[in-house]
Chain A
């Protein structure tokens, strides 16, 4: 059974870069879309972007200039980097698998989420 697990620092200073990884276990990362989604405390969900197993990426325009999502197939991991963070980037960050369930897509597997606080 495929499982996802986020990891990374829980505290990041303003203006620095937030870096998170998501490890995929129980299955190969060499297929599907691998996605990052975040949720500020007490608020709704925001799609950050995805990386396809081919390396193609798609980002939310609201974050595009600051976001990089990459893939490491040797470690079965994908990663998120968000630069120049501010307090507004404080959120629970989820990784998720986006699959094709014909004829649409859906996020069928999620990590448990990791809280990242931006503060000096």
Chain B
């Protein structure tokens, strides 16, 4: 199975900060990577697909980049509603696997 890692596992940031989360796969996955946001008690929400494509309705402050094994999710200016846990997911090979998550909380 393809292993996904994320860094950092958690971070504290302030409103308005630029935040970058990294996801790495144990083997190349081209651009078959998505980013999901999960708030406590809620289902995950799709933010980014194909590594860099913004899902409809998602604010443009979210962006993704990368291909192969290294990917990043960037929030250009953190908003109060962005405090959540972020997961990457590889959809290149089965079993589909998620990263362990990055929790973004308020500094």
Contact = CB atoms under 8 A, between A and B. Distances in A.
Nearest to B98: A45
> How many residues of B sit at the interface, in one of the four size bands?
20 to 34
Interface secondary structure of B, over-half rule: loop
Contacts of A45: 36, 44, 87, 89, 98, 101
B84 interface: no
Contacts of B96: 47, 60
B100 A107 contact: no
Contact of B44 (A58, A105, A107): A107
A58 B87 contact: no
A106 B45 contact: no
Contact of A101 (B1, B43, B50, B89): B50
A44 B98 contact: yes
A104 B32 contact: yes
B19 interface: no
Contacts of A101: 49-50, 53
Interface string A35-58: 000000000111100000000001
Interface residues of A, number: 21
B34 A106 contact: yes
A44 B89 CA distance: 11
A47 B98 contact: yes
B46 A107 contact: yes
Nearest to B32: A104
Contacts of A108: 46, 55
A107 B89 CA distance: 10
B91 interface: yes
B100 to A, nearest CB: 5
Given A44-B98, A104-B31, A107-B46, 5 more contacts: A45-B36, A46-B98, A60-B96, A105-B32, A108-B46
Interface of A: 44-47, 58, 60-62, 94, 96, 101, 103-108, 110-113
